[in-house]
Amino acid sequence: MSTAIQHIDLDGSDISLKGEMVSLTGLWKAAGSDPSKKPAKWRELPSTQEFAGHVAEVIIRKSDIDLFSVTRGGTAPGTWAHWQIAMSYARYLDPAFAARCNEIVRERMERRLAPAIDFPAELMETIRRTDGICRMLAKKVTAIEKAVASGVQPEPASFTITVTPTARSAQ
């Protein structure tokens, strides 16, 4: 698990991330800090245990990521959970809060955060065209690399250059 802590601004509240882990304590604070819905109490619920068991079987077994992590003291104290479990906790806290969390976390995970400003249409069109050209060139380079790797050398293109003399004007 990555130990570098990243932060998401969730409508003015700070939610911390460590790799695949999300701070349940941060989610709890952002949702209003209801004492009856603390992360430790939620973890004890049978429905939480059932869901965590499923996540452990299906997802975690493929990696070395922990389901939960509790840190006392230090720079990032609190309860942490795999992001899928954290999204389940957000639903438990409040459905509207969960919907907003899903949007923010998805944007962050996909690195699709909206730009802070609207770019002019001409600039966006230039970016789209440039992206298209880059994708086309990448496909061509990949095809060339495959041909070179397989040892197949394409026949050189044949072409003819015709030179036609033109009369020079007298100077």
Per-residue pLDDT for 159 more than 70? no
For the chain, how many structural domains are there in total? 2
Mean pLDDT confidence for 1-29 = 84
How much is the mean pLDDT over the chain? Answer: 82
The 10 Å Cβ neighbour count of residue 81 is: 27
Q: In what order do the strands lie in the sheet with 13-18?
A: 5-10, 13-18, 21-23, 78-82, 68-71
Which phi and psi (to 5°) does residue 64 adopt?
A: -105, 25
Min mean pLDDT across 107-111, 117-121, 139-143 is at 107-111
- Domain shared by 72 and 56, yes or no: yes
- Domain shared by 127 and 101, yes or no: no
Nearest Cα to Cα of residue 133 among 122, 125, 143? 125
Residue 167 lies in a domain: no
- Domain shared by 55 and 84, yes or no: yes
Domain residue limits at 130:
116-151
